[in-house]
Amino acid sequence: MKWKRHVEHLRDRGLLHWLFVIFVAFFGIFVGEQLGKLDFWIEETYELYRIFNSLNWRESMPERTNLVLIGDKEYWGKDEELAQRTPINRRYLARLLYALDKADAEVIALDFDLRSPMTDGGVKDHPAYQRETQELIDAVREVSKRRKVVLPVTVDISDDKYLVESAIFSGTSFDPKNVLFGYINLPYDLRRVALRLPLKECTKSSNSPIDQQRNNCQIDSFALSIARATSRGRASKADQSSFLPYTDYIKAERFCQISATDLLTSEASMRSCQLSHRIVIVGGEWSRWAYERGGKVDTYMTPVGIIGGVFIHANYVEALLDGRTRYPLWEGVSEWIELGLALVVAIVFSLDFRLRVRILITSFLLLGMILFSFFSFFNLGMFFDFFTPVFLLSLHACVERIYEWREKALYCENFHMGNPGEGENV
């Protein structure tokens, strides 16, 4: 019977062959994970992820978040306050805060790097900027009497835990109910929503909101703090999870955007973008080198192309508020699926089939894996990254092909040496 012949053919491969196959499978899983951490195929992964999301019948749209952007006109123009300066002028940010307060925004978030010159707190602020920094702090205090304000912090990693770096407002007393803090560092995989990080240092007691967060030995992300600040915010299971969930992306042009100049000078231009009772994130979108030269500042490659960090934070906020977060399969489950698929492909390539039949079966396995990932992503809220299994399958195909060439070479060598019988039994 055919199935007996196939079983015998598998057995004839020998123990050494199957031990080698198992080794290659485990090695492939390890290499795939390391390549993923190094962003080896990140652009290809983002492109497949984009195609995945395009198949979703429900197109995601921003519902609660608007953006105020400082662009080339403000940064590279004649505005004496900005003056093409780094760090950004804090007096200008204070003016934007007051304008958004007047526009009755529900939550105002500042997406700027406001860390101290010495991140350990040795120097809190440069003397030349202390006056304008105090104006920004006063604006935060005043505006936070009527609405929530979210301020940015940055973190540094040490021994797998994080340290909150000193900011220009460190040690300042704010209303802890209305002033929140969140780290603006982004995860290495931008498909995943930044949530909470474990802190290396905790504080015993303090009136500072940032120190109160340290009491829990955790720090919220910028997006999670914004989601907490809104009255409609719901942390949901994302708040409690130890895994970073995946989310689909909203294109940058879908967000309602207002220039900083329009916000400060023209109420008529703001009518197309309702700010009242909305989340408003203020960020920078000027060019690096000169007016419209050198690409935009603070940009990253994402599943919807190269966009600014402020748009990434806005995507995370929308995902958290709308519940569009999907969790990866448990690590052990994913690895067992990858190992099982690798072994199945190894068996298929070891059977006495024609090469095109083996390739056809492997293609069906790949298709099934992609369909499984698609189903789990949109119906179970779980994400299975099939890039590593694809790498494994390709690796196995190459190994088995090399093994076949070796067998044929041995057969031909034995045949020409006058031992055709021995060659047939190889």
| pLDDT tens digits along 50-76 | 776 666 666 678 889 999 999 999 999
For residue 353, what are its two tokens? 């089939």
Residue pair 325/246 in contact (Cβ under 8 Å)? The answer is: yes
Q: Are residues 88 and 209 in the same domain?
A: yes
Q: Are residues 310 and 343 in the same domain?
A: no
Question: Does the residue 216 lie in any domain?
Answer: yes
Which residues touch 62 (CB under 8 Å, ≥6 apart)?
250, 254, 255, 256, 314, 318
Q: Are residues 152 and 255 in the same domain?
A: yes
Question: Does the residue 420 lie in any domain?
Answer: yes
Question: Does the residue 107 lie in any domain?
Answer: yes
Chosen domain end from 275, 300, 322 = 322
Note the pLDDT of residue 332.
Answer: 63
Q: Is the pLDDT of residue 37 over 70?
A: no
Q: Are residues 21 and 69 in the same domain?
A: no
Q: Are residues 300 and 279 in the same domain?
A: yes
For residue 388, what are its two tokens? 């590593």
Question: Which 8-state DSSP code applies to residue 273?
Answer: S
Note the pLDDT of residue 97.
Answer: 97
Q: Are residues 420 and 309 in the same domain?
A: no
CA distance 178 to 108: 10
How does residue 300 score in pLDDT terms, banded at 50, 70 and 90? very high
Q: Are residues 162 and 262 in the same domain?
A: yes
Q: Where are the alpha helices (DSSP H) in 217-330?
A: 222-229, 260-265, 309-322
How does residue 130 score in pLDDT terms, banded at 50, 70 and 90? very high
Chosen domain end from 307, 322, 337 = 322
Note the pLDDT of residue 226.
Answer: 94
Residue 100 to residues 66, 74, 135, 148, 271, Cα–Cα distance (Å): 11, 17, 16, 11, 14
Residue pair 278/66 in contact (Cβ under 8 Å)? The answer is: yes
Q: Are residues 85 and 212 in the same domain?
A: yes
pTM (predicted TM-score) = 0.74
Average pLDDT over residues 246-275: 83
* 14 or 74, higher pLDDT: 74
Residue 141's domain comprises 65-322
Note the pLDDT of residue 422.
Answer: 47
Question: Does the residue 177 lie in any domain?
Answer: yes
How does residue 81 score in pLDDT terms, banded at 50, 70 and 90? confident
Question: Does the residue 227 lie in any domain?
Answer: yes
Note the pLDDT of residue 281.
Answer: 97
Q: Is the pLDDT of residue 333 over 80?
A: no
Note the pLDDT of residue 17.
Answer: 67
How does residue 352 score in pLDDT terms, banded at 50, 70 and 90? low
Could you report the per-residue pLDDT of 144-182, keeping only the tens digit for each? 999 999 999 999 887 777 888 889 998 888 988 899 999
* 31 or 73, higher pLDDT: 73
Question: Does the residue 60 lie in any domain?
Answer: no
For residue 257, what are its two tokens? 């955007």
List residues bridging with 158 in a β-sheet. Answer: 161
Give the closest residue to 186 by CA, choosing from 149, 218, 144, 154. Answer: 154
217 burial level (CB within 10 Å; 0-12, 13-18, 19+)? middle
> What DSSP assignment string belongs to 325-372?
-BEEPPHHHHHHHHHHHHHHHHHHHHSS--HHHHHHHHHHHHHHHHHH
Q: Are residues 85 and 179 in the same domain?
A: yes
Q: Are residues 243 and 335 in the same domain?
A: no
Instruction: Name, of 1-15, 248-262, 324-338, the range with top average pLDDT.
Output: 248-262
Question: Inter-axis angle of helices 355-379 and 331-350, to 10 degrees?
Answer: 160
* 109 or 212, higher pLDDT: 109
Q: Are residues 149 and 235 in the same domain?
A: yes
- Return the minimum-mean-pLDDT range out of 59-63, 105-109, 119-123, 137-141: 119-123
Chosen domain end from 322, 355, 376 = 322
How does residue 247 score in pLDDT terms, banded at 50, 70 and 90? confident
Note the pLDDT of residue 124.
Answer: 80
- Please give the mean pLDDT across all residues of the chain: 78
Q: Are residues 202 and 116 in the same domain?
A: yes
Residue pair 255/311 in contact (Cβ under 8 Å)? The answer is: yes
Residue 210 to residues 279, 316, 383, Cα–Cα distance (Å): 21, 21, 33
How many domains, in total, are found in the chain?
Answer: 2
- Return the minimum-mean-pLDDT range out of 59-63, 171-175, 293-297, 402-406: 402-406
Note the pLDDT of residue 364.
Answer: 79
